[in-house]
Amino acid sequence: MSDFPHPSELLPHRPPFLLCDEIIDLKPGVSCTALWHLSGNEAFFEGHFPGRPTLPGVLIVESLAQTAGLAALSADDFAGKLPLFGGIDKARFRRQVIPGETLTLTAHLGKMSRMAGKASGEASVGGELACKAEMMFIIANAGDL
């Protein structure tokens, strides 16, 4: 069992949109590595694509954003805040991700302020790069929504 919190203890996301199953490395305010275990029973695989189920790229990028959110929200300065997507740059997809695979998600925070931040992330399967992206987000008060 991990000494790290469950992602739901830090992120406001809940199933079916909590895309990080467990944290395997966490440096609060700096970086996070999380895992997303894809069972194949996820509803999106039925329609994307029948006969050749493939994890949608937008969900890979969202899972990277959630991993960056774990890094940010684990820091005292951002505890209880809500990071919202502000932009995605340089997203590149290198391989398909299919049912039964585990996605290793790594995010590193870049420049941060009280109101916004940047992060970079990589998603891989078995050490093979599936996606990399740069992300920007704004930091909202959770009560402002």
48 tagged catalytic? yes
Which residue's structure tokens are 């966490």?
A: 26
- Structural domain including 102 reads 7-144
The answer for residues whose C-beta is within 8 angstroms of residue 108's C-beta and 6 or more apart is 30, 31, 71, 119, 120, 121
Query: Is there a domain that residue 36 lies in?
Result: yes
pLDDT score for 144: 58
pTM, to two decimals: 0.95
52-69, pLDDT tens digit by residue?
999 999 999 999 999 999
- Tokens 């590193």, residue located: 108
For residue 139, tell me if it sits in a domain. yes
User: Tell me: the pLDDT tens digits for 19-30?
Assistant: 999 999 999 999
Q: Which residues contact 51 (CB under 8 A, 6 or more apart)?
A: none
Question: What is the C-alpha radius of gyration for the chain, rounded to an integer number of angstroms?
Answer: 15
- Which of the following is catalytic: 6, 13, 37, 48? 48
Q: How many CB atoms lie within 10 A of CB 42?
A: 15
Token pair 């305010």 is found at: 29
Looking up tokens 């300065």, which residue turns up? 77
Give yes or no for residue 47 having a pLDDT over 90: yes
Contact 26, 74 (CB under 8 A): yes
Q: Is position 81 within any domain?
A: yes
Does residue 1 fall inside a structural domain? no
In the block, tokens 């039925």 appear at: 46
Residue 46: CATH number of its domain? 3.10.129.10
